[in-house]
Amino acid sequence: MTTRQIQTIILDWAGTTVDFGSRAPVAALERVFAAHGIQLSSSEARKDMGLLKRDHIRSILQQPRIRKAWAELNGAAPGEQEAELLFREFLPIQSGVLDEFSDVIPGVVETVSTWRSYGLRIGATTGYTKALMEIVTLHAGKQGYAPDVSVTPDMVGCGRPAPLMVYRNAIETGTYPLWRFVKIGDTPVDMQEGRNAGTWTIGITRTGNEVGLSESEWAALGADAQEQRLLQADRVLREAGACYTAPSVAECTPILEEIGERLAAGERP
């Protein structure tokens, strides 16, 4: 198998391996902001998805509409103190919804099993904290999905787009060089994380944040609407640094074969 040129796959969690549509973070963020009188839209919540959640909340507070609404309600624009307050409130709310939104995405268990049969190591990075990931990994493990290594931002001191979580995966799996790694995720910062680490990158469209629909919502769309959603997600992820895109993890194996062939020919990401 030409995939033997690859050593390690680094997978994202929400929207990539679990939580079809990456709905858990959106649900929690909407509830946190609603408690302060601000109705957050799905698109506002999804902007900058994949960041460490503290950084994600900071980013939301800097969006012009949100910043203006906060100032009108509270008499002053939000700053670091408000971001920390919302992050503290976010954590228990997110914990409370993770069981509802942590189902493994169809095809992931079987695909990862196939990759392991090729001798590939399976790592993971996320925007969730270690405490939140304990809930997700427990739920996913019961459904048959467990990476060899899973690294969170609080384990390395920062989140995406910095490459440190990928580096920690390399250390924990004992594999290198990083040009023999493939990072797979569904957000622009996933792609930036991989490129900053020096890996190949695959952006996930249909099951991920850029489409942002549950499995049933996706199935209810007409073919033309589905195609437009996929094209838009493809554009965003490629602009962020995706070497390839795929609708789901289950459809990435042919891409790994191609990457293996390119590596065998001496190409680098």
> In the structure encoding, which two tokens stand for residue 247, read together?
């609708």
What is the edge-to-edge ordering of all strands in the sheet holding 8-11? Answer: 121-124, 8-11, 181-185, 200-204, 244-246
Residue 160: name the closest of 182, 127, 200 by CA.
127
What is the SS3 assignment for 116? helix
DSSP state of 105: P
| CB-based contact 37:44 (threshold 8 Å) | no
Residue 180: name the closest of 11, 4, 1 by CA.
4
> In the structure encoding, which two tokens stand for residue 30, read together?
């909407």
Residue 42: name the closest of 62, 58, 21 by CA.
21
Write the DSSP string, 223-250: HHHHHHHHHHHHHHHHHTT-SEEESSGG
183 has catalytic annotation? no
What is the SS3 assignment for 251? helix
Catalytic residue, chosen from 53, 183, 186, 190, is 53
User: Given the DSSP bridges, would you call strands 121-124 and 200-204 parallel, antiparallel or unpaired?
Assistant: unpaired
53 has catalytic annotation? yes
User: Where do the DSSP E strands lie in the chain?
Assistant: 8-11, 121-124, 181-185, 200-204, 244-246
Catalytic residue, chosen from 12, 48, 190, 234, is 12
Backbone angles phi, psi at 85, to 5 degrees: -60, -50
Q: Active-site residues: which are they?
A: 12, 53
